[in-house]
Amino acid sequence: MSDENWTIRARRGEYSARDAAKTLDPMKWAVHRLLPATGASVLFGTGSTGKTQLLLWLAAHIAARGEKKPKKWLGADVAVTGKVLVLSAEDLREHLFKRIGDIARRMSEQFGWADEEVEDVCARIHVMPFLSMGVTEFTELNPSLFRRGAGGDWEPSESLRSIERFLEDANNEADANERPEDRFVGVILDSAVSMAGFEMSQSEAATNFLFHLNRMSRRQGMFWAVIGHTPKDAGKKADDPAVERLRGSAMWSTTPRAVIELRCATSSDNVDDVRVRYPNLDTRDILLLSTAKANSEDADLDPRALVREKDSGAFIDITGQFPGIFDRVQKTHADADRSEPRIPRDRNQTGLAIIDIISRVTNDGRPQEKFTRQSVRDEFDRQRPLNEALRDVAPEHEGKYSRKDFSLAWYMAQFRDFGAIADSKASSFLIVDLALAHARFSDVGDTNRSEIKAVDLDSPGIDQD
């Protein structure tokens, strides 16, 4: 076909769908039914969920070659073999190298790789860590991939043009040498927020950016896996469709070939059996992966459950072990009706149980030890199914919930008022004397809430945000 303008060709009927009556080429996948071989796909979730680590783990599966290469990723066939480019404006070179090395060494234990094979896998993952580049190595002010042109339109930046030329030159060389396994087959962009060059809510910029990535990746025969994020209020949308939690304009959820969410398990997920099988896990180490949107024929929409291996940075697919993990746990009365919280049966035992949780995350409650709200919430989520005294405690742990009777944040406010803990900084606390709180809940009779002395219902909670 010629390079004439599309409107001229349309008048000649060249866009007729007549060929649809014939058998067309099958859908091409990088990971069968999960990740298309070409086009932009988005993996999103809250901060520190493990999005980058998951994609580096995928990159190692794709980069591996030879008889011992892994055949599957998350239970799906790995359909391509080649090099992967990682673009990062969020991690230093040495941090990314350590993570990639840890993953490759863990995979060598699984697949019986020799040292040379581990090195080969690492060598086939190329990393452009812009934070680690000096001003001579990278002369631009920032690594943004899109910018406004002279006429005000959004267009590729010189950085993206350079990346595009690098990929084309590398793949032309691989083709010339008849080494198809040396072609770049994918790019990991970490992340859209730090490298796109515009606010995620900018619809025109997002449209131009994703259109360019989709056309470029189709021409070059590779995928772009773009890391996205959720907005700060994503927790309020927990029961909404997953795409409602993706930060940015609607184009981020409609234009990509696939949109996948990675989130940490919560107390509302059916993970009790997982905690029994893996007793040393933090709540954030149980991850749920689901396809929020796919516009490819025969896409796999089944969710996956993963356990994060802390030491190696790899993951264990536990979906088959726990088929009921995606069943939502029945909410307590406190969760279902926030205006009428359920009162714990024995408030003293509940208070002591939460004190024990703080002790677990602070080296047995040693004075001057620091801890965060999130560390308490993680341990609370792990202990809640195992301890009857915690069943009726509302799980909200932020300071704004400290006025809500018998929430986790409410108990934290009491401990502060007792002088057992003190504010350290935002989201962080300091142990003063945990024995003070222990004594309060050991001595107080359990008849009604007013008997908990030193509790001022009108006192400000911890870090009112």
Domain boundaries, the chain: 30-317, 333-451
> Which pLDDT belongs to residue 398?
80
Q: pLDDT tens, 256-267?
A: 999 999 998 887
pLDDT, residue 2, reads 59
Bridge partners (DSSP) listed for residue 11: none
Decide which of 39 and 242 is more confident. 39
Q: Which residues contact 168 (CB under 8 A, 6 or more apart)?
A: 220
Average pLDDT over residues 142-170: 96
Give residue 235's pLDDT.
Answer: 53
Question: What average pLDDT is seen over the chain?
Answer: 86
Q: What residues form DSSP beta bridges with 73?
A: 76
How many whole angstroms separate alpha carbon 333 and alpha carbon 394? Answer: 9
Question: For the ranges 81-95, 114-128, 351-365, which has the lowest average pLDDT?
Answer: 351-365
Which one has a higher pLDDT value, 427 or 161? Answer: 161
Distance CA 80, CA 29 (A): 8
Could you tell me if residue 403 is left (phi over 0), alpha (psi between -120 and 50 degrees) or otherwise beta?
alpha
| Residue 351 pLDDT exceeds 50 | yes
* pLDDT for the residue 418: 84
**Interacting residues of 167 by C-beta distance below 8 A, sequence separation 6+:** 85, 184, 187, 220, 222
What pLDDT band is residue 296 in, cutting at 50, 70 and 90?
A: confident
Q: What is the pLDDT of residue 237?
A: 55
Report the alpha-carbon distance of residue 111 to residue 133 in Å, rounded: 34
Distance (Å, whole) CA 443 – CA 439: 6
pLDDT, average across residues 345-359: 89
The more confidently predicted of residues 2 and 59 is 59
pLDDT > 90 fraction of the chain, expressed in percent and rounded: 56
Q: What is the per-residue pLDDT across 370-427, written as a single tens digit (0 to 9) for each?
A: 999 888 988 888 888 788 888 888 888 887 777 777 888 889 988 988 899 998 876 7
How would residue 335 be classed by pLDDT, with cut points 50, 70 and 90?
very low
Per residue in 125-141, pLDDT (tens digit) is 999 999 999 999 999 99
**The pLDDT of residue 27 is above 80:** yes
One-letter amino acid at 404 equals: K
State residue 172's pLDDT score: 97
336 pLDDT more than 60: no
Beta pairing class for 370-372 and 428-431? antiparallel
Structural contact between residues 84 and 185, judged by C-beta atoms closer than 8 angstroms = yes
Check whether 449 has a pLDDT greater than 50: no
Distances (CA, A) of 305 to 68, 71, 208, 395, 448: 25, 19, 34, 22, 42
Phi and psi based region of residue 89 (left: phi greater than 0; alpha: psi -120 to 50; beta: remaining): alpha
Q: Please give the average per-residue pLDDT across 103-110, as a whole number.
A: 96
* 30-317: CATH architecture: 3-Layer(aba) Sandwich (3.40)
Q: Are 59 and 186 in contact (CB under 8 A)?
A: yes
The C-alpha R_g of the chain, in whole angstroms, comes to 26
**Chain centre to alpha carbon of residue 131:** 21
Tokens of 167: 């990929």
Q: Are 255 and 72 in contact (CB under 8 A)?
A: no
Reduce the DSSP state of residue 378 to 3 states and report it. helix
Cβ neighbour number for residue 117 with a 10 Å cutoff = 19
Q: How many CB atoms lie within 10 A of CB 239?
A: 8
* Nearest partner of 30 among 260, 275, 238, judged by Cα: 260
Can you tell me the mean pLDDT for 244-268?
88
> Bridge partners of 431?
421
Q: 217: pLDDT confidence band, cut at 50, 70 and 90?
A: very high
Q: DSSP label at 75?
A: T
Instruction: State how far the Cα of 285 lies from the Cα of 307, in Å rounded to an integer.
Output: 6
For the chain, give the number of residues.
465
Share of the chain above pLDDT 70, in %: 89
User: Nearest 5 degrees, angle CA 199-CA 205-CA 208?
Assistant: 150
Residue 239: its pLDDT value, please? 58
Least confident of 96-100, 271-275, 428-432: 271-275
pLDDT given at position 452: 39
Both tokens of 113, joined, read 């790789």
Q: Is residue 338 predicted with pLDDT exceeding 50? A: no
First to last CA, the chain: 61
What mean pLDDT is predicted for residues 115-127? 98
Q: Which residue has the tokens 């896409």?
A: 299
Distance CA 363, CA 359 (A): 6
Digit-coded pLDDT (tens) for 227-238: 998 875 555 455
Instruction: Return the DSSP state at 329.
Output: P
Tell me, what's the pLDDT at 103? 96
